[in-house]
Amino acid sequence: MSSVKLVAPLSGSIVALRDVPDPVFSGLMMGDGLAINPTSSTLTAPCGGVISQVARTGHALTLTADNGAEVLMHVGIDSVSLGGKGFNVRVRQGQRVAQGAALIDVDFASIKGKIPSLTTIVVIANSDDYELSGKASSSVTVGQSAFLTVTSR
């Protein structure tokens, strides 16, 4: 069994996925995980790994952890509709990153009110292959707070 401990990719308050105002995420269709109501503006790597996918509009990316877990991070609800405005992606597909590396700078002030929610979702896209434990439950600090433990089944 291979485990990866994720740290918070943003500061903010934890939101259970079932409470996210998007049926795709709240219904766990993209995988299991957590969400954050952000208070910091740079999404950082919750663990070391390789950037396996970056959305064309910069609102989401997937980081494949060393144990194979696909950590999908999606900033905001319906944020694809912004067409990239408010997002500055600092990594590229295929790039190896260390835990804490800056991934996306988000101008939350400029996108607030233009999308239904700033809630940022962090799910394990291939969560059927992993057990999730140690879920954070209150507020978290970027790069410091334990967020989630992902263990291969």
CATH code where residue 88 lies:
2.70.70.10
Alpha helix segments (H runs only) across 21-126? 23-26, 108-111
Mean pLDDT throughout 120-145? 96
Q: What is the pLDDT of residues 69-125, one digit of tens each?
A: 999 999 999 999 999 999 999 999 999 999 999 999 999 999 999 999 999 999 999
Please count the structural domains in the chain: 1
pLDDT at 1 over 90: no
Question: What gap in Å lies between CA 64 and CA 2, rounded to an integer?
Answer: 14
Average pLDDT, the chain: 97
Catalytic residue, chosen from 36, 70, 74, 82, is 74
pLDDT-above-90 percentage for the chain = 99
Q: Is 74 a catalytic residue?
A: yes
Sole residue written with tokens 């905001």: 76
Mean pLDDT throughout 56-66? 98
Sole residue written with tokens 């999308």: 115
Q: What pLDDT does 5 receive? A: 97
Residue 126 — very low, low, confident or very high, per pLDDT cuts 50/70/90?
very high
Residue 119 φ/ψ, nearest 5 degrees? -50, 130
- Domain containing 136 equals 3-152
